[in-house]
Chain A
Amino acid sequence: MLRNLASVRGILTILLVLAVIFAGYGIYYKIRYWGFSFTPGQNTNLWSVEAHISFMPTGEPIKVTLTTPRSNDAFKILEENVIAPDYKVKRNSSGSLLTLTSAPKEGEQNLYYKIMLFDNVDTKGKVKAPQPEAPALPVFDEQKMAAAKQILKLAQKQDGDAVAQVIKLLNQEPLDPAVQAYLPVKCTQTQKVEIISELLALKKIPSRAARGFRLEESKKALTPDLMLEAYIDGTWKIYDIKTGKKGLPDNFVLFQRGGKSLIDVMGGEDSVIKFSVLKSVTSTMNLAGQRAELAGNKSWFDYSIYNLPLAEQNTLKWLSIFPLAILIIVLMRNVVGVQTMGTFTPMLISMALIKTGFGPGLICFSFIIFIGLLIRSLFSKLNLLLVPRISAVVIVVILMMQALTIFGYQLKLDIASSAVFFPIIITAWIIERASITWEEDGPANAGKEIIFSILVAIIVYFVISSEYIRHIMFAFNELNLVILILVMLLGTYTGYRLLELKRFHPLAKD
């Protein structure tokens, strides 16, 4: 008899391991590619950045080239729109260059490029990338080279890493005379970036300009801020060129990295590019589909719960907590050894408690059971047959629920109006069974059964009422497979139940 058990248990254990591996991979996959998380109610910021390009045509064929961001580790693109009537829209192979061409036109031209970004915060301004080519050494004459070397030497006195040192030196107040001599008289931000890049190139550190926006809720036209990206230790790190501070500032989205300029207009003059930024918030789960598409596994997502209409999702969310509740019931009955009224009755009570709220539900439920038992004891004097009697109890329960709800509403007692959420048939059966146990085995046994049932219901309630657990069981529903195997494994548990340790205590040998 033991060998048989061992083989069943062996198979189930192997299945359990497989299920755990599968669930583990599923969880990893969903977090990695769909952006799921263990915490519920996660929101993702959605940034919509709009570039408004305007220019006056010169009468020649028009060609507008715009550098656009691509999805990468730093952010993902939800939507991209170009509003340019009568323009031919073309992209280069990598998609990072948008070309709009048109025959000669008259009058001011207004073109819009709109992009919605999300997940821009995760990388904190560090982007892993393959090693770029070593930067070309700037062509300096001897005198300038000497000055540059002197500046690099001076920079070493500043705090921070090599890049931060150079930036800080160039922003010192007041400027070091040597630096002042080195910089042009009126130094624009662009020039400053170029100079820093040249200096870093002397130290063999690849660097490039980056443009982005401080994301603020303002509809005012923004000009992109310039930042410096330097390649250190296998990642592109971003630096503020005014302070040398490393990392992305808060609420900052990088729009473009590298490249010379954002926009290039041929066949037009007085070109102006204005950016505006809008922030919106959406639930993380809503973006899962987009994330899946970007990760190239859309079809997997299409056949998941999360692609269903919201109403179905909510139903399934409710259902996917059941297996856990069932596991608790199995544990309570077969491992602890608690006898309850009906196998799944406690689970149904706890489900009702979720809807009513714990305290009010419990008070209301106890009240219904109490009054129900009183009325049922009157019934037993009438000696009715079983089916009509239980039916009468069902109707009494319904009437009680109606009365409680009406009084609850009139007296503004929320407690009473929660009555309506309790499963009518289950409640009636609890009353019927308790009443029979009362008559057959005495009030002590009946009370014990009711109390144990409610106790188990409370335990189940506390597990399934947790927003976290509900979210995890829904978002990572492959865990239900693990629970299935666990429940089956518990079916082979032949050890003592916890309460048997007490029951058979007199038999124990010391």
Chain B
Amino acid sequence: MFGWFKNFSAPSALRAAGVLGMNARNFHVIAKYNSRKLYPLVDDKVLTKTLANNIGISTPKLIGKIEFQYEVKNILDIIGDNKEFVIKPAQGSGGKGVLVITNYQDGIFTTASGRKITYKEVYQHISNILSGLYSLGGKYDKAIVEELVHFSDVFKDYSYQGVPDVRLIVYKGYPIMAMTRLPTKASGGRANLHQGAVGVGLDIQTGRALHGVLNNMPITHQPDTGADLLQIQVPFWKEHLFIGALAYDMTGLGYLGADIVLDARKGPMMLELNARPGLAIQIANGVGLRSRIKEVDKYYPSGLSAEERVEFVLNYKRAK
């Protein structure tokens, strides 16, 4: 009984650590800085992609989109010569409904996990997307087909199938916290922590690994590959931060999560934006978001351009 309670902290201890709770996030941050009318900008991935390309953020190339059921049969025409691609819902969340095809040949689709599926199953998957199975609130949705990201070798040893990405938390245009999410066997190749992916907190100024976390517990090595998580150093870090800073300019969301993948040839690309990013990133960083938010409110200037904000973050001397 007492052993069980030992795993609980006093609220004062969490407050001292600057931890942001769900209620505080919703009340003080999201309700305040994320106007509801801005949500469609990030909920619809096709729209997000268009906006991103307009402002100069690179994203995986859109191969095509399917809006209506009668269009589903055109899928092979849309795919064309592409051998590898991703099919996903335009309004999905949490990696739901993402179908990664690593090889398409002779009518056989090979998924990221190596499973071979047929046209019929792909057709079915797209139908499910359109009928709203994966969208927020079960609304009718679009399916988008985009090019597959060839993630950088940097992550090769750290990821079991799937696409590892970098999640940035951007507050008032300043990237304030970062982590990389590594798919595991348990997560089924998906990069969501609650599905069993590994989260590794990254130093916001350098992109170096800080802590690893799996299912809310500290971890030092990737469970499937055994690689030392603390050796991670994300390259092109400044470019990552710049995408996050630009995402603020693009959407106006005061608090957002930017998911960025590092393509081996094209560098960092924005996958999607999230208007209510989760709080697990705090555990991966061993630092509370509340303290970072207070820091921004107190010391960071307003009215800077995206470049200037990134420079400010990189050069900011945090009192230790």
Contact = CB atoms under 8 A, between A and B. Distances in A.
A495 B17 contact: no
Contact of A493 (B13, B14, B23, B127): B23
B124 A507 contact: no
Contacts of B138: 386
Nearest to B138: A386
A217 interface: no
Nearest to B29: A1
Contacts of B288: 504, 507
Interface stretch (B2-10, B176-184, B268-276): B2-10
A445 to B, nearest CB: 7
A503 B288 CA distance: 12
B27 interface: yes
Contacts of A387: 131
A507 B21 contact: no
A383 B8 CA distance: 43
B27 A440 contact: no
Nearest to B12: A508
Given A440-B96, A445-B194, A496-B14, A502 B7 contact: yes
Interface stretch (B55-63, B142-150, B279-287): B279-287
B27 A5 contact: yes
Given A337-B22, A496-B14, A506-B283, A436 B133 contact: yes
A508 B17 CA distance: 6
B121 A383 contact: yes
A441 to B, nearest CB: 5
A495 B28 contact: no
Interface of B: 7-11, 13-17, 19, 21-24, 27-28, 32, 96, 121, 124, 127-128, 131-133, 138, 186, 194-196, 213, 216-218, 279, 282-283, 286-288
Contacts of B24: 494-496
A428 to B, nearest CB: 13
Interface string A483-505: 00000000011111100111111
Contacts of A337: 22
Contacts of A442: 186, 195-196
A211 to B, nearest CB: 67
A509 interface: yes
A492 B17 CA distance: 22
B11 A496 contact: yes
Contacts of A509: 13, 16-17
Contacts of B22: 337, 497, 500
A505 B7 contact: yes
Contacts, number: 102
Contacts of B132: 386
A504 B286 CA distance: 9
A506 B286 contact: yes
A37 interface: no
B34 to A, nearest CB: 14
Interface string A220-262: 0000000000000000000000000000000000000000000
A480 interface: no
A500 B13 contact: no
A185 interface: no
Contacts of A440: 96, 195
A510 B17 CA distance: 9
Contacts of A507: 9, 14, 17, 19, 282-283, 286-288
B27 A494 contact: yes
19 contacts: A1-B28, A1-B32, A5-B27, A334-B23, A337-B22, A441-B194, A442-B196, A494-B27, A496-B14, A500-B21, A501-B11, A504-B19, A504-B279, A505-B7, A505-B8, A506-B216, A506-B218, A508-B17, A509-B16
A385 B125 CA distance: 9
A504 B27 contact: no
B16 to A, nearest CB: 5
Nearest to A436: B133
A445 B215 CA distance: 12
A386 B127 CA distance: 9
Given A383-B121, A506-B286, A497 B21 contact: yes
Given A385-B128, A386-B132, A441-B194, A495 B218 contact: no
Contacts of B7: 502, 505
Given A495-B11, A497-B22, 13 more contacts: A385-B128, A442-B196, A494-B24, A494-B27, A495-B23, A496-B15, A497-B21, A501-B8, A502-B8, A502-B9, A503-B283, A504-B14, A507-B283
A221 to B, nearest CB: 71
A445 B194 CA distance: 9
A496 B27 contact: no
